[in-house]
Each structure stands twice: as C-alpha cells, then as structure tokens.
Copies of this chain bind each other. A is one copy, B any other.
C-alpha cells in the first residue's frame, strides 16, 4: 500500500543546494502533496566561532544514514527521501546537513524529516570540532543528553 522509495544518501565535503534536491523529488510528478526540507547550518556561538570541522567515519557514515533512511521509508509512505551530510571545515552561515522528505501526505513528510534528524544527531558517525577566533586550541563539541531523549519520541 505504501509508496516505496529508494532514499538518496550523500556524504560530501562540497556544499549542496536544497532547491536542486527538492526539485529532484517533485519534478514531473503529480503524486507529491507535501515536501518538508530541513537544513542545518553552522551557527555562530556569540561571534567567536571561526569554523566547525566535521570529522566522519567514511563508509560507515553513508551506511548508517542509509539504515536510518530505510527505516523511515518503511515507517512512512514517502515518495522520495534525500539526506546529505557534509564533512570538513564549515564556516558560520554555511550548510551542514539536508533532509528532504516528500510524500502524498503532510504528516508523513514532517514526521520522516523530524525522525531523520533525531537519529542522524546521535547515530551517524560525525564529530564536530570548534575552531575559535584568536585561539589555537580547537574543542570537540560534546553530545547532549537531550539528543538521546529525542530518540525516545519515536519508540513504541
């Protein structure tokens, strides 16, 4: 009954264009009623952040995101799903992560995008390091307990 779709997963150093990715899921189709896109950007902590550096586990990053994406397409009737996560140095204001979920139904698109972001945060093998202006020390961002709390929203 549920439309199946094959998620598109990319892990890359280059920037992405949310508009292009959205068009890929809607162009020439008449069955898409809702597209939810989430873009996560590098946010400046009080003007002191020079850049984020994102380390990742090549191979596992793609595999783990694909596992989460496939779980989402099994849970919600999606017509399309795209997930892109960048690695490397990223300046404030730049894109880090993109999730685009398309469906015939509004709630499915919202929930799938929300679910993807919750699981990416605590299961995709990426680690953020902060490069701070005027300092040679770079510090690893600590995981938040709330990230694990977020996962519980999707249980049961």
Contacts and interface: CB of A to CB of B under 8 A. Distances in A.
Interface of A: 17-19, 22, 26, 28-41, 43-44, 47, 92-93, 104, 106, 109-110, 113-114, 117
A22 B39 contact: yes
Contacts of A30: 43-44, 47, 92-93
Given A26-B41, A34-B41, 13 more contacts: A18-B19, A29-B93, A30-B44, A30-B47, A31-B44, A34-B40, A36-B36, A38-B106, A38-B110, A40-B106, A106-B117, A110-B110, A110-B117
Contact of A33 (B22, B33, B40, B113): B40
B26 A34 contact: no
Contacts of A109: 38
B29 A34 contact: no
Contacts of A44: 30-31
19 contacts: A17-B19, A18-B19, A18-B22, A18-B37, A19-B19, A29-B93, A30-B43, A30-B47, A32-B43, A33-B43, A34-B38, A34-B40, A34-B41, A35-B38, A35-B41, A36-B37, A36-B38, A40-B106, A110-B110
